[in-house]
Amino acid sequence: MRPTRRDMLKTLAGGTALAWGGSFMHLAQAAEQSEAPAEPPGPVPEPEPRIERFERMAYGMFIHWGLYSLLGRGEWVMNQEKIPANEYRRLRNIFTASDFDGRTIAGIARRAGQKYITLTTRHHDGFSLYDTRGLTDYDAVHSPAARDLVEDFVEGCRAEGISPFFYHTTLDWDHPDFDADFDAYLDYLHASVEILCTQYGDIGGFWFDGNWSKADADWKEDRLYGMIREHQPEAMIINNTGLHKRGHVGHPEIDSTTFEQGRPEPMDRRGMPKYISAEMCQTMNMHWGIAKNDYNYMSVQDIIENLCACRKVGANYLLNVGPTAEGAIPDYERAALERAGQWLGLHGNPIYNGKPCGVAGPGADFGLDADGMLFLFVHHLRLGHGQQAGEVQGPGPRMFTGVARDVSSVTWLDTGEDLEFEKDGSNLNVTATGFPYGTNTVVRVARVS
Ligand code: GLC
């Protein structure tokens, strides 16, 4: 069912992504379509269990690591510097993976409050971190590392209670068939993914990337996704739509849309044939693969605020790290992730289980419903005695709309302090107090009972 043109224009300012004919279309685009039928939109479909589970994982670690990490100039270095394939391939001879330890990485993710890790099992340079079992010798077992790094990763994840996800490129700068014989290349890709589906036990999901490189090609997605469903029925299937098509969904088997390096937008799922989740992936500096001279890093505050911005619209947050040449998570990334993880220790329940419920606050503030309980997220506070200057709002009243339920108390999760409030119809006006001296939790969350 399609929304009316007036509906589209009304919500245009919010930048809502819109389900239309089974795929997402940004409202700005939709509004350009001149005539839209006036039927009311259909119901929001129920998420399938794997999608529901994925949404409750909420926050994951993205890992970009491969031969390019040896050069330390980002994962596109082969393409950007036009390094010939036969020259680039020599990196394999010095790839030791001496610091790569799945358990250590998964432990960092656990302390960061992340529930899943998406690892680049093969990136665009064509080199595989897994044992390709004779498909090619361009893999980790044919390097000085001489081991299956994906196996190590999966075992480490399982030991730490983290769900392993596999990123796999679909484009390939190394494989001659990618340009010469695309059907033969797709057979190779299919066989590669089949190894990942059958050799590592239950996998949380598959995250593909690269179909945008041949936007008009027939990628035989039915065949690829059909094979995944057969071997891994509980795995999420994601295929990155790329920078220019954030929020779009293509193939009907896809379970989540992506918002690469973006702000996730609210999704209108009314009338969709199936419930699709959303995930925003983001670099912690300006590169996915390690870039030794990129100092443009996020702060702990940024991580917390970005995570909240994702959950505000019900999206997952997939935050990237680029391990060193040897495979260790660099110090800054580890420290920042673990520090943000302490915030999650205080605020985990509403972050993992909270869903948008029509409760809106001023500015960045918002409400989420976690299994029947309402939580309010309050930004830009300051120390209670006014020491810190320059915020937009500071302590004081915050008006939340759309609160239909009765309210008897509003309590900060971090200190347990009860807040004053007034309820007027579905408006809830809360007097937010600032951070007690000695604390600054960036975003404070209050439980409404
Ligand atoms: C882009 C880049 C790729 C990266 C991906 C992550 O598609 O090409 O290098 O892996 O984004 O979202």
Q: Ligand 1, residue 320: give the atom nearest the CA.
A: 6
Joined together, the tokens standing for residue 162 give 């983290």
Residue 209 CA to ligand 1 centre (angstroms): 7
Superfamily of domain 49-329: Glycosidases (3.20.20.80)
Nearest residue to 300 (alpha-carbon basis) of 343, 257, 262, 263 = 343
Which pairing describes strands 256-258 and 277-282: parallel, antiparallel, or unpaired? Answer: parallel
Residue 281 near ligand 1, beta carbon < 6 Å: yes
Q: Which residues are CB-contacts of 425 (< 8 A; sequence separation ≥ 6)?
A: none
Residue 209 near ligand 1, beta carbon < 6 Å: yes
Global pTM reads 0.91
For the beta carbon of residue 355, count every other beta carbon within 10 angstroms: 13
Residue 260 near ligand 1, beta carbon < 6 Å: yes
pLDDT tens, residue order, the chain (449 aa): 233 322 322 232 233 333 322 333 333 343 344 455 567 789 999 999 999 999 999 999 999 999 999 999 999 999 999 999 999 999 999 999 999 999 999 999 999 999 999 999 999 999 999 999 999 999 999 999 999 999 999 999 999 999 999 999 999 999 999 999 999 999 999 999 999 999 999 999 999 999 999 999 999 999 999 999 999 999 999 998 766 776 677 899 999 998 877 777 888 899 999 999 999 999 999 999 999 999 999 999 999 999 999 999 999 999 999 999 999 999 999 999 999 999 999 999 999 999 999 999 999 999 999 999 999 999 999 766 554 444 457 899 999 999 999 999 999 999 999 999 999 999 999 999 999 999 999 999 999 99
Q: Which residues pair with 4 in a beta bridge?
A: none
Task: Output the residue whose Cα is nearest ligand 1's atom 1.
Answer: 242
The domain made up of 356-448 has a fold known as: Immunoglobulin-like (2.60.40)
Residue 267 CA to ligand 1 centre (angstroms): 23
C-alpha span between 165 and 258 (Å, rounded) = 15
Residue 260 CA to ligand 1 centre (angstroms): 8
- Contact between residue 363 and residue 381 where contact means Cβ atoms under 8 Å apart: no
The backbone torsions φ and ψ at residue 184, rounded to the nearest 5 degrees and listed phi first, read -65, -40
Cα 433 → chain centroid: 32
Token pair 């399938």 is found at 48
- Counting ligand 1 atoms within 8 A of each CB, the residue from 260, 290, 318 with the most, and so the one to mutate, is 260
Q: Which residues are CB-contacts of 358 (< 8 A; sequence separation ≥ 6)?
A: 402
Residue 79 CA to ligand 1 centre (angstroms): 13
Q: Ligand 1, residue 289: give the atom nearest the CA.
A: 9
- For the chain, the structural domain boundaries read 5-34, 49-329, 356-448
Residue 288 near ligand 1, beta carbon < 6 Å: yes
Residue 240 near ligand 1, beta carbon < 6 Å: yes
C-alpha span between 381 and 355 (Å, rounded) = 23
**What contacts 24+ positions apart, CB below 8 Å, involve 139-142?**
140/95, 140/97, 142/92
Q: Which residues are CB-contacts of 176 (< 8 A; sequence separation ≥ 6)?
A: none
Joined together, the tokens standing for residue 255 give 């379970």
pLDDT at 441: 95
Residue 174 near ligand 1, beta carbon < 6 Å: no
Residue 173 near ligand 1, beta carbon < 6 Å: no
pLDDT at 249: 76
